């Protein structure tokens, strides 16, 4: 029996040493978060419903160039992606979301590869794990929008740049991939792709003497090839609509640049990012500070410069929306991993090397966790002045002993503070589960899970420093941040919060009488618009005509109409059902 146990341990060690082991663990980490659901799905009205409906129109018409009655203001990349998914898997919510899911998983793996080059394997894995549990990122990985596909192309381009520098023999291939990615990015997200491109420009210029990317003609050849599908689409549109097809693209960009949406001012991302990316945003600030103080040779303008420039670009861009900041999330995850890893080492590494400032002699500092009565052994004279930065991945720095003790107190207080927050979440969840409504109880299960999980942090600290459990190292503390977030998002997905955005619409359309009418008759639209109108467009199998007045419709025909309009109708009609202030009616003689 012991022999078999040792054999299994040997197999496990060999599996862990396999070069693909981190990627496999990341797949097991993110795939459940993407797949957990309540068994029901319904689209988010904006923007997912718009892309789903336009892609369906393109797919059903067979016209993948210009199925519109007028020039379109967006490039067709996301419509082609979703319509291709319809071709393979049919028209449904899963087909709408599948491209984003696949490219979201690949983005997590690519971020790991980027992190390995910029930092090291541990921080790279931690960054990918953090990205997977950033709420807004995970939400858009489960939505049929072009945001995640564009970010995938940007990350792939950055990885290819780094690979080109590390592999001179294959540099032309990787540089070609960079150009293709940015060209396809324009097809996918129009002029928005220029924001990350410009954010990468300082690195390309400052490090140009080393890598020579900007003078590599293969880069521009790849970019032109990536733009070719867009040029083909634009040419056919020009033949159909003339110069209006080009003018509409430019006017849409000018509208975005000149119009402020929902009163979101220039400081919008300063408060929106901390909320949507809590708590990782605050760790990314620490990581940014560490990376700023201890620069990484060659890649500082990618790790630090790119996200800073991109943040300022987004802030200056007049249309400020939460999902526009998604391109920052992979870099926030990298910086958050740097900050968390550093905190773990400061708070849980018991032994540190001390270098005497007057020479090369090294000695070891041993300390206890009692901050009020700290004792030290073998303390050299230089200890009162400096000590190193735990041989951190960002370089060898110098840190004052008092600062070291202060940071440990901060980590202790942070762990206890999260413990207090966890208890508050538990109490609020229990109250909601007992006295709340059914919908509130669903949300309460998420906060209950998060509250229980966050108790790990103070328990790890107490177990190590009050009960002497030395096996509770920094990895357990890091797990205390990751696992609760993962469990909370898994529960949220299982309750349908990340897949079933319009259950009322889904339930109404699933009624046998309504479903039979929709399947067997063409449904007209009487001045239908807004978010509900987008959903009705997608979920109505057979579209009739779009009309201004119900009097334009033939007798016994069916139509969607707003409930407000229906109250003022003089035309005889029968109301078959009402959903979200819209009615399905039948015109009577």
- What is the Cα 198 distance to its own chain's centre? 21
Contacts of 212 (CB under 8 A, 6+ apart): none
Among residues 115, 217, 108, the alpha carbon closest in space to that of 171 is found at 217
- What is the Cα 381 distance to its own chain's centre? 49
Among residues 244, 33, 222, the alpha carbon closest in space to that of 140 is found at 33
Among residues 283, 271, 394, 392, the alpha carbon closest in space to that of 332 is found at 283
Distances (CA, A) of 99 to 96, 104, 106, 181: 7, 8, 11, 16
| Rg, C-alpha atoms of the chain | 28
Give pTM, 2 decimals: 0.88
Q: Are 563 and 527 in contact (CB under 8 A)?
A: no
Q: Coil, helix or strand for 68?
A: coil
Distances (CA, A) of 239 to 63, 65, 232, 235, 589: 14, 11, 11, 6, 45
Quote the DSSP letter at residue 323.
Answer: G
Among residues 398, 474, 504, 492, the alpha carbon closest in space to that of 43 is found at 504
Q: Coil, helix or strand for 585?
A: strand
- What is the pLDDT, as a whole number, of residue 365? 35
Rounded Cα distance, 235 and 256, in Å: 24
Q: Are 90 and 137 in contact (CB under 8 A)?
A: no
Distances (CA, A) of 488 to 37, 54, 439, 455: 13, 33, 16, 13
- What is the pLDDT, as a whole number, of residue 353? 33
Question: pLDDT tens per residue, the chain (589 residues)?
Answer: 545 555 555 655 665 666 678 899 999 999 999 999 988 999 998 889 999 999 999 999 989 988 887 888 889 999 999 999 999 999 999 999 999 999 999 999 999 999 999 998 999 999 999 999 999 999 999 999 999 999 999 999 999 999 999 998 889 999 999 999 999 999 999 888 999 999 999 999 998 888 888 999 999 999 999 999 999 999 988 888 888 888 888 877 777 766 777 777 888 999 999 999 999 999 999 999 999 988 888 899 999 999 999 999 999 888 888 889 999 999 999 999 999 999 988 887 644 332 322 333 333 333 333 333 333 233 333 323 233 333 343 333 444 566 677 788 888 899 999 999 999 999 999 999 888 887 788 889 999 999 999 999 999 999 988 888 888 888 999 999 999 999 999 999 999 999 999 999 999 999 999 999 999 999 999 888 888 889 999 999 998 888 888 888 888 899 999 888 877 777 888 889 899 889 899 988 8
User: In the block, which residue shows the tokens 């905190």?
Assistant: 343
The structure tokens listed for 186 are 């324009």
């Amino acid at each position: 029996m012991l022999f078999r146990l040792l054999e299994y341990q040997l197999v496990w060690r060999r599996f862990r040493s396999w070069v693909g082991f981190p990627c496999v663990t990341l797949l097991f980490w993110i795939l459940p978060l993407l797949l957990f659901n309540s068994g029901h799905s319904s689209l988010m009205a904006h923007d997912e419903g718009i892309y789903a409906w336009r892609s369906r129109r393109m797919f059903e018409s067979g016209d993948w160039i210009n199925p519109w009655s007028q020039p379109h203001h967006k490039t067709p990349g996301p419509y082609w992606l979703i319509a291709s998914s319809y071709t393979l898997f049919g028209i449904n919510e899963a087909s709408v979301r599948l491209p984003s899911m696949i490219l979201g998983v690949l983005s997590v793996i690519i971020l790991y590869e980027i992190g390995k080059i910029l930092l090291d394997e541990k921080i790279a894995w931690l960054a990918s794990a953090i990205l997977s549990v950033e709420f807004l990122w995970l939400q858009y990985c489960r939505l049929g929008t072009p945001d995640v596909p564009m970010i995938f192309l940007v990350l792939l381009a950055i990885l290819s740049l780094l690979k080109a520098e590390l592999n001179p023999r294959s540099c032309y291939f990787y540089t070609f991939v960079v150009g293709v990615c940015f060209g396809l990015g324009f097809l996918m997200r129009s002029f928005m792709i220029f924001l990350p491109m410009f954010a990468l420009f300082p690195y390309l210029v400052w490090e140009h003497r080393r890598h020579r990317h900007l003078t590599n003609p293969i880069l521009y050849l790849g970019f032109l090839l990536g733009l070719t599908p867009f040029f083909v689409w634009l040419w056919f549109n020009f033949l159909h609509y003339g110069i209006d097809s080009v003018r509409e693209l430019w006017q849409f960009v000018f509208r975005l640049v000149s119009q402020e949406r929902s009163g979101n001012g220039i400081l919008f991302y300063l408060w929106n990012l901390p909320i949507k990316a809590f708590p990782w945003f605050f760790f990314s600030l620490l990581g940014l500070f560490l990376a700023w103080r201890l620069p990484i040779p060659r890649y500082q303008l990618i790790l630090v410069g790119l996200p800073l420039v991109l943040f300022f670009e987004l802030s200056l861009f007049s249309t400020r929306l939460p999902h526009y900041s998604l391109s920052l999330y992979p870099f926030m995850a990298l910086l958050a991993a740097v900050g968390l890893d550093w905190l773990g080492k400061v708070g849980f590494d018991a032994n540190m090397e001390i270098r005497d400032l007057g020479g090369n002699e090294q000695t070891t500092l041993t300390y206890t966790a009692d901050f009020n009565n700290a004792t030290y052994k073998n303390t050299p004279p230089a200890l009162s002045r400096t000590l190193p930065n735990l041989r951190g991945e960002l370089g060898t720095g110098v840190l004052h002993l008092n600062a070291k003790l202060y940071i440990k107190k901060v980590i202790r207080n942070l762990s206890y503070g999260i413990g207090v927050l966890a208890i508050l979440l538990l109490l609020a969840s229990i109250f909601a589960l007992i006295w709340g409504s059914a919908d509130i109880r669903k949300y309460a299960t998420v906060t209950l899970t998060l509250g229980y999980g966050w108790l790990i942090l103070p328990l790890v600290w107490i177990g190590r420093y009050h009960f002497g459990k030395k096996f509770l190292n920094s990895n357990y503390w890091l797990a205390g941040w990751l696992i609760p977030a993962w469990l909370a998002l898994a529960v949220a997905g299982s309750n349908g919060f990340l897949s079933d955005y319009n259950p009322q619409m889904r339930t109404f359309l699933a009624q046998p009488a309504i479903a039979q009418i929709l399947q067997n008759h063409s449904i007209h639209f009487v001045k239908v618009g807004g978010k509900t109108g987008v959903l009705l467009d997608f979920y109505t199998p057979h579209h009739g005509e779009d009309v201004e007045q119900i009097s334009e419709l033939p007798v016994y025909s069916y139509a969607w109409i707003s409930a407000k309009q229906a109250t003022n109708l003089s035309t005889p009609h029968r109301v078959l059902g009402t959903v979200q202030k819209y009615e399905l009616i039948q015109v009577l003689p």
